[in-house]
Amino acid sequence: MKKHNFSAGPSILAREVIEKTAQAVLDFNGSTLSILEISHRSKDFEAVIEEARQLFKELLNIPEGYSVLFLGGGASMQFCMVPFNLLETKAAYLNTGVWANKAMKEAKGFGEVVEVASSKDANYTFIPKDFVIPADADYLHITTNNTIYGTELRKDLDSPIPLVADMSSDIFSRPVDISKYAIIYGGAQKNLAPAGLAFVIIKDSILGKVSRYIPTMLNYKTHITEGSMFNTPPVLPIYSALETLRWLKSNGGIQAMEKKNLAKAELLYNTIDSSKMFVGTAAKEDRSIMNVCFVMKPAYKELEADFLKFAVAAGMDGIKGHRSVGGFRASIYNAMPIESVQALVDCMMAFEKQNA
Ligand SMILES: *Cc1c(COP(=O)(O)O)cnc(C)c1O
């Protein structure tokens, strides 16, 4: 039976990306050697990282003056690298969930942290708006897509101070005005590559303003100067990232991706909104087009476990909701075809017909 992969992360990659990665593991570029056993300083790997960097810039339309870094440590390492490199006295954070909290916690080790707004009291079901950004803070940190709650800030904010964004789970899902950001970072394992890699898009001129010593490996300048090759980078995830970037380009780039993503999200949200049984958990105006969270209405609450079994039996993988939200979460990242979303919709409608 065909499985539909709705996993939140690590998550679905284009089949073609997985096949090409597997091929490079067996025989990289016809060399008869595996990409796992050659030097990261070999010509062939240098070409991989260079093309990945160039495609990042091309697809996201990254202006001059920005660098693209490929680092280990995942997004969580960036929770500490950002304040280590940018926080001199005070930083502002928008609290939109678990990941934002983890970022905030790290920043507190480096200076004062101002929480500009929070939707914690509503279990993060919406993105706070109309908050005041302190003009004297070193930067404002936001999480554009809240993977756990299915909320998303899909408009690029205007910030009077440097804007830092965790885009782990929505990078490449929509066009972004990079010039509005000082740093965009994320773990690769949601929309780009296997786990073990973080990407960082950084405005070079933002650096050099803090007075503390920054350890070499945690200093963005090191990785800018060394082209992400100060030490051995995560070579295999970088190779997969390159294949995803090639796949994005040959499928019409980010505009085309956004169009498909909007269609997939609309199909699923329309089904939820017209259902007697299911209801979405996120505020409508803040709904994510990457992670769709829904639960059973109170009258049907006891059927949640049955639906999960029904859906799993129909090939729906990874739709159990995060423990802090409950119910269901369908992650419908770039690589997910609309046919899989349709299969989930059919499954929901069939269950409702049987049970409502
Ligand atoms: C998954 C996720 C993270 C954590 O990423 P790691 O690479 O595991 O550290 C951080 N932020 C967001 C928004 C995420 O979805």
pLDDT tens for residues 130-174?
999 999 999 999 999 999 999 999 999 999 999 999 999 999 999
Report residue 97 as tokens: 């969930």
Closest ligand 1 atom to 148 CA: 15
Residues forming the active site:
99, 166, 190
Closest residue by Cα to atom 3, ligand 1, is: 75
Q: In whole angstroms, give the CA distance from residue 295 to residue 304.
A: 8
CATH 1.10.10.60 fits 15-250, yes or no: no
- Rounded-to-10 torsion of CA 106, 110, 113, 119: -10
The string of pLDDT tens digits covering residues 207-217 is: 999 999 999 99
Tokens of 132: 């005041």
- Cα separation, 196 vs 189, in Å, equals 8
Pocket test for ligand 1, best of 147, 183, 290 (most atoms within 8 A of CB): 147
3-class secondary-structure state, position 312: helix
Give the CATH number of domain 253-355; options: 3.30.420.40, 3.40.50.10190, 3.90.1150.10, 3.10.20.30.
3.90.1150.10
One digit per residue, the tens of pLDDT, for the chain of length 356 reads: 889 999 999 999 999 999 999 999 999 999 999 999 999 999 999 999 999 999 999 999 999 999 999 999 999 999 999 999 999 999 999 999 999 999 999 999 999 999 999 999 999 999 999 999 999 999 999 999 999 999 999 999 999 999 999 999 999 999 999 999 999 999 999 999 999 999 999 999 999 999 999 999 999 999 999 999 999 999 999 999 999 999 999 999 999 999 999 999 999 999 999 999 999 999 999 999 999 999 999 999 999 999 999 999 999 999 999 999 999 999 999 999 999 999 999 999 999 999 98
**Ligand 1 center–CA 110 separation, angstroms:** 21
15-250 and 253-355 in the same fold = no
Could you list the beta-strand ranges (E) of 148-225: 151-152, 163-166, 183-187, 198-203
What pLDDT is attached to residue 318? 97
Q: Decide: helix, strand or coil at residue 152.
A: strand
- Which residues approach ligand 1 with their CB closer than 6 A? 9, 74-76, 99, 143, 147, 166, 168-169, 187, 190
Best of 71, 101, 169, 291 for a ligand 1 pocket test (most atoms within 8 Å of beta carbon): 169
> What residue spans define the domains of the chain?
15-250, 253-355
